[in-house]
Amino acid sequence: MSVAVNVSPNSTSLAASKRFAKSFKGIIFHKGWLAILMVLVIWQIISFFLGGRGLVPSPARTAATMWGVLASGEFFVQLGDSLVRLLIGFVLAMTLGMIVGVLMGSRWFWNEFFKDIVILGLSLPGLVYALLSVVIFGTKLLAPVMAILFASYPFIAVNIREGVKALDKDLLDMTQAYKIGKWKVVQQVIIPSLLPHILAAIRTGFTIAWKASVLTEVFGATSGIGYMIRFNFQMFAVRGILAWSLLFGGVMILIEYGILVPAERHFARWRPQILEEV
């Protein structure tokens, strides 16, 4: 008996459109929307009672200000300034955090050497680094860069240290038995093993870096998102403070879902649990 199998030429595109529909459905029915809706309702209720005194503007009026800031193009100019500072500081923090993390994870001496400094770094709030940087470096580029570097490197170092400690000795023994060259081991065994920890370090470190960067701009900068928040504060423009802060948050969410989550999905495609989560 023969069985006719109908293979449609459009089956690939059909699968792709099904995937798109699924992810679109995922966005529409994303549980996070419910939480956002809840916050908006609470916000609306609070503004109804306190809005009269101009303390809490309504979500709709804040949205209008946000649109104004976006439409005028000012947001993108200020965001550009903030991003340059952030990227320089974050690259330095990643470099220092990786070096310290690798040393701490691989050698007992270096773990003991750096342990207390890193704990101190983790416990100090970003505000301290922001204030100190402004006092020392004034409004120069170095101020936010240093604040970002010292505020976020300990979080990166801790994540990387855990990754190095969790390296699978059995896999390293296997590479030794097969006489695999050191560089190849680094490229194909150590870095992929560390990737989940590197991504966690980027995510945590980046959040801390953003906060430190904006704080430094609040206290000592002549441009950037933090500067605009301070400017609105001085003008007692609550709507402006909220609009700039929310837009800043929006950029963070875009970076999370636009860069970090897809990167994590790509690098962790060999892990079944990640595929199920996504």
Partner 1 sequence: MAATAVSVKDLVKCFGDLRVLDNVSFDVEESSLTTIVGFSGCGKSTLLNVLAGIETTTSGIAEVSSSKNLSARLGYVFQSPRLLPWLTIEQNLVFVRPDAVDEATHLERVHKYLEMVGLKNVRHKFPYQLSGGMQQRAGIARALCIEPAVLLMDEPFSHLDEITAGGMREEMLRIWQETRRTILFVTHDMQEAVELGDRLIMLDYHGRIFVDIKIDLPRPRNLTDRVFIEFYSDVVRHLQAMQTIRAEELAALGVS
Using CB under 8 A, pick the residue from 173, 254, 257, 262 that binds partner 1.
Answer: 173
- Whole-angstrom Cα distance, residue 182 to residue 142? 37
Alpha helices in the chain (DSSP H): 11-28, 32-50, 59-72, 74-106, 108-123, 126-137, 142-165, 169-177, 182-185, 191-220, 225-234, 238-255, 261-267, 272-277
CB of 270 to partner 1, least distance (A): 4
- Whole-angstrom Cα distance, residue 54 to residue 158? 44
Asked if residue 190 lies in contact with residue 175, where contact means CB atoms within 8 angstroms, the answer is no
CB of 170 to partner 1, least distance (A): 5
Contact segment (CB under 8 A) with partner 1 among 3-11, 32-40, 173-181, 240-248 equals 173-181
Contact segment (CB under 8 A) with partner 1 among 18-26, 94-102, 232-240, 264-272 equals 264-272
Using CB under 8 A, pick the residue from 72, 95, 106, 188 that binds partner 1.
Answer: 188
**3-class DSSP state of 177:** helix
User: With binding defined as CB under 8 A, does residue 171 bind partner 1?
Assistant: yes
User: With binding defined as CB under 8 A, does residue 189 bind partner 1?
Assistant: yes
Using CB under 8 A, pick the residue from 109, 178, 183, 236 that binds partner 1.
Answer: 178
Q: By the criterion CB under 8 A, which residues form the site for partner 1?
A: 170-171, 173-174, 176-181, 184, 188-189, 192, 269-272
